[in-house]
Amino acid sequence: MQRFEFKDGKSHKFWEIHVEGDSFTVRFGKHGTDGQTSSKTYPTADKAQLEAEKLIKSKTKKGYVEVAAADRPAPTAQPTGGNPELEAPIHANPNDLEAWQVYGDWLGEQGDPRGELVNIDCAILGGKSDAALTARRDALIAEHAASWLGKDLGKVLHNDEVFEIEWKLGFAYAVRVRKSWDAEDAPSPGQMIRLLLKSDASRFLHELSIGVTDLEGDVQFQDELNALTKSGKLPSLRRLVIGDFTYEECEISWSNIGDVGRIWPVLPNLEYVKVHGGSIGLGDIAHEKLTQLVVETGGLPGQAARQLSEARLPSLTSLEVWLGTENYGGSSSVKDLAGVLEGKGLPKLKHLGLQDADFQDDIVRALCTAPIVKQLETLDISMGILTSEGANAMVEHQDHFAHLTSINVDRSWIGDAAQEALRAAFGDKIQIGSQNDDADDYRYVAVGE
C-alpha cells in the first residue's frame, strides 16, 4: 500500500492506494479520520497497475507527497476504551449501518484498523461488494485478528475444531467453542469464553455456541456458564446455544447442563436460546426480549417444567420443549405444564412444541381443552409416545385445533385407522410422517439416552 498526504494552510488530507492482482482499493479523506473507500477491478493485473500509476501521478501533480511507512499513523490493535455514546445505538439495533459508520469513523480517529474494516463491511452490506473490497477485508482480518483476540486466544484462531469465529463490522459476530481430540492442549471452552469476553473483539458479540466440554464423558457446563455470566452484562448478545453437540460427540443424557437461570438478567437483549443436554434447570425465567426458546433433553425434571410454567416471556413467539422419559431423568407431568397450557406469561406465543414425552397422550388430552391453543398457529407434538388414543382425542376435539396451519405428529405410535382419522379431520395441516408400529408392546420416545 502507498500513502500520500496533502497539507496547506486550510487542510490536511490523505490518499492511499492498495493494488492487488487485477483490482485496487483507494482510501481517502481528512487526516485523522477513517475516510472513504472505493475499489475498481480491471480485465488484467497489468491494466490495474497501469491505472493505479495514472492515479498516483495525478495526485502528485496536485501536491500530494508520498509518506514513508515510518511516518504513517501507527494503527493500534484496539482503541483505548470504548465509546458508550456511540455504542448504545448499535447495541439497540445491530443492523443500523448509519450508527456503525459513525462508530467506524471514531475508530479511525483512534488509529484503529477496525475503522476501515467497519466501513468496508458497511459498503458490502449496503450492496457495494466487489472483489477488491472483499480482498482488503480479508487482509485486515488476517493481519489483526490474533492481536484483537489476545495472545492466548489467538493461538487457536485458526483451529476450528475448538474455536470458530465469524467477523462482522470489525468485531467478533458469532463464536463457537468446544473440546476436541484434535486439539487436546487447547484451552477449555470455559477458558476460551473468558479470554473472548476479556478481549475487545467481543464488544458486539451477537451469537455464542458452547459445544461439548469434555472428552472423557464428564460433559458439564457450569464453568462455561460461570465464564459467561460473571463477565458482566452483554448487551449485544442475541443468540445463545448451550450444548451445541451431536450424539456422536456425546449422548444427550450423558451431559449435565445444570441451572442456566443466571443467564436471564445478564443477557438483556437475547432473542434466541437453545439448551440441549441432560439435568437441565431453567431458573426464574423472566426476559423482555426473548422470542424463541428451545429446550432439548432426554428427560426434563419436573422442576424445570414448573419453571417453564411460571415463565414471564412477553415477546416469546416460539417455545419448543423435549420432555423425554423417566429412564433418563424425566420427572415432569402434565400438571407441571399447567402454566404453559393456560398461556400464562406467554401472550405472543404462536408456535408450541411439547414433544418427545413418554406421557404424550396425556399432553394431547390436555391440549384438547387448553386455552393456549387458541392463540397458536402451529403445534408440534411429535417424537413421543403418542398413540391412537391420543390421536382420536384430537379428532374428537378437532374444532379446537381447526385454526392451526400445521400439526406435527411425526415419529409417534399412531395406528393406521387413527392416522386416517387425523387426515380426514385436518387434511394437509397434519404432518403424520413416519410412525412406529403400534402393535409393538415396547414403546419409547425418539430421544432418550
Query: Each residue's pLDDT tens digit in the chain (449 positions)?
Result: 899 998 886 778 888 998 888 888 888 887 766 667 777 888 888 888 999 999 999 989 888 899 875 454 444 444 446 899 999 999 999 999 999 999 999 998 888 999 999 999 999 999 887 888 899 999 999 999 999 999 899 889 888 899 999 999 999 999 999 998 888 788 999 999 999 999 999 999 999 999 999 988 889 999 999 999 998 889 999 999 999 998 888 889 889 999 999 999 999 999 999 999 999 999 999 999 999 999 999 999 999 999 999 999 999 999 999 999 999 999 999 999 999 999 999 999 999 999 999 999 999 999 999 999 999 999 999 999 999 999 999 999 999 999 999 999 999 999 999 999 999 999 999 999 999 999 998 999 999 98
Cell of 29: 479523506
Tell me which amino acid residue 421 is. Answer: A
Task: Quickly name the fold that domain 143-386 has.
Answer: 3.80.10
- Listed by start position, the domains of the chain span 1-73, 143-386
Q: What b/e string do you get for 180-204 counting C-beta neighbours within 10 Å, with b at 16 or more?
A: beeeeebbbbbbbbbbbbebbbbbb
Q: How far apart are CA 146 and CA 148, in angstroms?
A: 5
Nearest residue to 17 (alpha-carbon basis) of 3, 29, 7: 3
Q: How far apart are CA 255 and CA 251, in angstroms?
A: 7
Task: Quickly name the fold that domain 1-73 has.
Answer: q64v53_bacfr protein fold (2.20.140)
Beta-carbon contacts of residue 219 (< 8 Å; ≥ 6 apart): 212, 213, 245, 250, 254, 255, 256, 277
311 close to 319: Cβ distance less than 8 angstroms: no
Q: How far apart are CA 34 and CA 3, in angstroms?
A: 13
